[in-house]
């Protein structure tokens, strides 16, 4: 058994992982706030880059300090602070930042004048481009149907959540202030359950909007992919007729450039399509958690959104599939053409080597001929020197026989000696 720690605990002290505190804190980072009716919730989501997110966190820190509080900790992605009699929540995500404020409603008029104490006035600094804007009102149940006047009947959805414990109505359209209206009537949810439902409804609106971004990326890529398909078909047809090495090399260059353009587009869209799939799965998960179903005689939110969101996701998947198919076809065509070019280059190299071999044999024969002539020439000069020596020795009184006989006898000896020397030199060069 381990020994107790120094502080008297019966359990030993172990060295914690650097991520332990973050992992444990992440579970409690976004608690559901208890909410009671009537209440209004205003929610904004902004697309932010890493630089914009850093500047936004610095601005939020200044805002918190100016109101006598503490800003978010270094590296924190969630923070809340009291504001205007309610609560302002800030969250940073991979590509967007959200601000959510909830406050009390001082009027019975549904979607009346917004509370004047909300934080999104002239002093608010938007961290990036606005993508999501929601105004959700939490109300007690009422029998009157006048609330329908605030929605477009052609796209109105009325759903029951948590087994009928609350009713939610929205038309997913913007009002005169540019906010999507959501109306929730709480029947018998607890305050914590109400906060959970509100947060999930806001997430549905946020993530379904983010999921739709992939559709516009797919729409942008579609003409370009069609152009790639046409060019690939044309170049594949040209491959059948091209036989010259230069033509095949030109086709190979064009195929390589086309493949580079395709991969650049596919790489740039990979994140967008992957994010859209993830956001779509989150929306589906939130609807399952809400246990959402259509109110009697009404259209549910999930059914309404699936009519457009599902085709959008299929379009994104189709574009990804076409990119992958094009990439495989381009790879096969490039490999085939490169093989053809390599074979043609090998044929040229083989012909060049054969030509070089013929030239080498001719050079060898010429060299042998030159060597034979050189032996004769050198022997002629050496024999001439011997003749001069014999004549000079005879005139000097040396016992030299007839100079002509001496010269004639020296000819075969000199020729053999010169031939042997040349052959030895050539043999040494061949060894080296």
**141, 217: one domain:** no
- Helical residues (DSSP H) of 134-212, grouped into ranges: 191-211
- Strand partners of residue 186: 166
Residue 21 lies in a domain: no
Structure tokens, 47: 């697309």
Same domain for 248 and 133? no
Number of domains the chain is built from: 3
Q: Is 129 in the same domain as 240? A: no
Q: Which residues contact 261 (CB under 8 A, 6 or more apart)?
A: 228
If asked whether residues 158 and 288 sit together in one domain, one would say no
Chain centroid to CA 390: how far? 95
Task: Say whether the peptide bond before residue 69 is cis (omega within 30 degrees of 0).
Answer: no
The reply to whether 305 falls in a domain is yes
* Contact present, 235 and 336 (Cβ < 8 Å): no
- Can you give the residue range of the structural domain that contains 367? 361-427
Supply the mean pLDDT for the chain. 85
Residue with tokens 């999104």: 120
The verdict on 140 and 242 lying in the same domain is no
pLDDT digits (tens, 9 = 90+) for 48-59: 999 999 999 999
Higher per-residue confidence, 99 vs 71? 99
Q: Are 315 and 265 contained in the same domain? A: yes
Direct distance between the N- and C-terminal alpha carbons of the chain, in angstroms, rounded to an integer: 80
What is the CB-side half-sphere exposure of residue 331 using CA atoms within 13 A?
Answer: 7
Among candidate residues 192, 224, 254, the one where a domain is terminated: 192
Both 220 and 279 in one domain: the answer is yes
Residue ending a domain, choose from 310, 328, 352: 352
Residue 59 Cα distances to 91, 99, 150, 268, angstroms: 14, 13, 36, 31
pLDDT tens profile 348-390: 778 788 888 888 888 877 776 776 667 777 777 777 777 777 7
Based on the number of CB atoms within 10 Å of its own CB, is 129 exposed (0-12), middle (13-18) or buried (19 or more)?
exposed
In a domain, 75, yes or no: yes
Looking at the fold, whether 234 and 271 belong to one and the same domain comes out as yes
Does residue 340 have a pLDDT over 90? no
Is the entire prediction scored with pTM above 0.85? no
The pLDDT tens digits for 20-50 are: 766 666 655 666 788 988 999 999 999 999 9
Statement to judge: residues 143 and 41 lie in one domain: yes
270-312 pLDDT per residue, tens? 899 999 999 999 999 999 999 999 999 999 999 999 998 999 9
> Which residue is associated with the tokens 């590509």?
95
């Amino acid at each position: 058994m381990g020994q107790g720690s120094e502080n008297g605990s019966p359990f030993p002290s172990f060295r914690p992982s650097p991520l332990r505190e973050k992992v444990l804190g992440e579970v409690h980072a976004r608690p559901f706030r208890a909410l009671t009716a009537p209440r209004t919730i205003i929610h904004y989501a902004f697309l932010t880059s890493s630089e914009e997110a850093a500047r936004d966190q610095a601005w939020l820190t200044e805002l918190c300090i100016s109101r006598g509080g503490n800003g978010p900790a270094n590296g924190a992605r969630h923070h809340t602070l009291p504001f205007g009699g309610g609560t302002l929540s800030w969250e940073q995500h991979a590509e967007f930042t959200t601000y959510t404020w909830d406050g009390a409603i001082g009027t019975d008029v549904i979607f009346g004048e917004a509370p004047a104490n909300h934080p999104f006035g002239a002093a608010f600094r938007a961290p990036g481009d606005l993508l999501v804007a929601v105004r959700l009102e939490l109300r007690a149940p009422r029998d009157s149907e006048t609330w329908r006047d605030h929605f477009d009947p052609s796209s109105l959805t009325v759903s029951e959540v948590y087994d009928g414990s609350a009713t939610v109505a929205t038309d997913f359209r913007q009002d005169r202030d540019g906010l999507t209206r959501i109306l929730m009537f709480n029947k018998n949810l607890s305050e914590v359950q109400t906060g959970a439902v509100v947060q999930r409804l806001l997430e549905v609106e946020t993530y379904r909007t983010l999921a739709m971004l992939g559709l516009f990326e797919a729409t942008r890529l579609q003409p370009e992919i069609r152009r790639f398909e046409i060019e690939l078909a044309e170049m594949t047809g040209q491959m059948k007729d091209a036989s010259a090495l230069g033509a095949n090399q030109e086709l190979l260059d064009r195929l390589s450039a086309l493949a580079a353009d395709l991969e650049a587009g596919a790489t740039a869209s990979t994140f967008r399509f992957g994010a859209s799939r993830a956001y779509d799965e989150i929306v589906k998960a939130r609807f399952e958690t809400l246990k959402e179903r259509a109110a009697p005689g009404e259209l549910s939110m999930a059914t309404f959104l699936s009519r457009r969101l599902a085709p959008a996701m299929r379009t994104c998947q189709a574009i990804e599939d076409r990119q992958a198919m094009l990439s495989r076809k381009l790879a096969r065509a490039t490999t085939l053409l490169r093989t053809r070019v390599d074979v043609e280059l090998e044929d040229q190299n083989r012909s060049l080597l054969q030509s070089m071999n013929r030239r080498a044999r001719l050079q060898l024969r010429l060299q042998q001929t030159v060597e034979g002539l050189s032996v004769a020439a050198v022997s002629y000069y050496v024999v001439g020197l011997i003749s001069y020596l014999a004549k000079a020795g005879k005139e000097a009184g040396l016992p030299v026989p007839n100079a002509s006989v001496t010269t004639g006898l020296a000819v075969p000896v000199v020729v053999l000696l010169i031939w042997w020397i040349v052959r030895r030199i050539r043999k040494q060069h061949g060894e080296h």
